[in-house]
Amino acid sequence: MDQTRAREIASVLTEALPYIQRFHGSTVVIKYGGNAMADGELKNTFARDVVLMKLVGFNPIVVHGGGPQIGALLDKLSIPTRFVDGMRVTDAATMDVVEMVLGGLVNQDIVTMLNHHGGRAIGVTGKDGNLLEAEKLTLTRPGPELEAPEIIDIGHVGEVTHVNRHVLDTFIESDFVPVIAPIGVGADGSSYNINADLVAGHVARALTAEKLVLLTNTPGVLDAEGNTLTDLTDTDVQQLVRDGVISEGMLPKVQCALDAVGAGVASAQIIDGTVPHALLLEIFTDSGIGTKITHA
């Protein structure tokens, strides 16, 4: 190894040291999805990043999505797919596929990948140990010709009402990395398909995590010129929403981040999961690569 390369490696390790010291023993909730789940090499770098975080003293918790995989199997089974306000209408047949894909195929693929790289991962759905208690999500849509808003039934789509953190504490105390499929359970035992970003936010809030990290397909929150905004307070974010700078697909993610930091999570990061080792770059370097949101 030449001296230039040696100095570069030493510089990286030295820069990471204060963050390792500061966050040792801290919980980090990571929402994993999008293109980062589709690219083979990105899947491996993600797994190595999570295993490294665990080895240096973090307590990572992974919450994953799986929309494209669900869609692919529905197409193969000739089950029609319909979306309302960005949410998949989930009838009984679709819910069976959601449970099969999220709770089985995708979840176990991530667990296997983490274990292959030296981790001790364990897969769960929100139904295991009643981890994610949920209720049916009902959409309402105003109509000028209606005296009351229209109520739209989107089937087995739910929202989290309670996170039983004891389940996760047990895994963490046993030195496992929990990998959570976003399927909730109702009071009557019904299964619910829940947005993975929302589940990650609820888990981070229940554990008062140090960080909530949302892996996306964009560099983070962008300004009007398309530049990444690196450090924002919740007040800044709310103003950007009012100004229309933050809109459409980014709105649910920033709302998730706002809810988390407002409930005691120290920071929420929105980062580009298509960048190799995005997790390490955001958490262990001074500059980071995405948008960090904190409470004002």
Residue 3 falls inside a structural domain: no
What is the reported pLDDT for 139?
74
Q: Is residue 223 part of a domain?
A: yes
Is the per-residue pLDDT at 19 higher than 90? no
* More confident: 69 or 145: 69
Q: How many domains does the chain have?
A: 1
Mean of pLDDT values over 4-9: 74
Supply the CATH number for residue 151's domain.
3.40.1160.10
**CA atoms of 240 and 209, how far apart (whole Å):** 25
Mean pLDDT over 149-153 rounds to: 66
Is 128 a member of any domain? yes
The whole domain housing 201 covers 19-294
Q: How confident is the model at residue 122 (pLDDT cuts 50, 70, 90)?
A: very high
- Taking only the tens place, the pLDDT of each residue in 89-118 is 888 999 999 999 999 999 999 999 999 999
Tens digits of per-residue pLDDT, 37-75?
877 889 999 999 999 999 999 999 999 999 889 999 999
Predicted confidence at residue 151, as pLDDT, reads 64
Residue 8 belongs to a domain:
no
The answer to whether position 10 is within a domain reads no
Tell me, what's the pLDDT at 142?
61
Q: How far is CA 179 from CA 18, 130, 139, in A?
A: 27, 15, 29
DSSP string, 175-242: T-EEEEE-EEE-TTS-EEE--HHHHHHHHHHHTT-SEEEEEESSSSSB-TTSPBP-EEEHHHHHHHHH
Side-chain half-sphere exposure of 269, counting CA atoms within 13 A? 25
Please state, in angstroms and rounded to a whole number, the distance separating the CA atoms of residues 234 and 214.
16
Q: Is residue 261 part of a domain?
A: yes
pLDDT digits (tens, 9 = 90+) for 194-238: 999 999 999 999 999 999 999 988 889 998 888 999 999 999 999
CA 162 from chain centre, in angstroms, equals: 17
Query: 296, 235 in Cβ contact below 8 A?
Result: yes
The answer to whether residue 217 sits within a structural domain is: yes
- Give the C-alpha separation, 232 to 269, whole Å: 10
Share of the chain above pLDDT 90, in %: 63
pLDDT tier, 10 (very low <50, low <70, confident <90, very high otherwise): confident
d(CA 54, CA 103): 23
First to last CA, the chain: 46
111 found inside a domain: yes
Residues 6+ apart with CB under 8 A from 199: 31, 63, 126, 132, 160, 180, 182, 184
What's the chain's average pLDDT? 89
Note the pLDDT of residue 12. Answer: 74
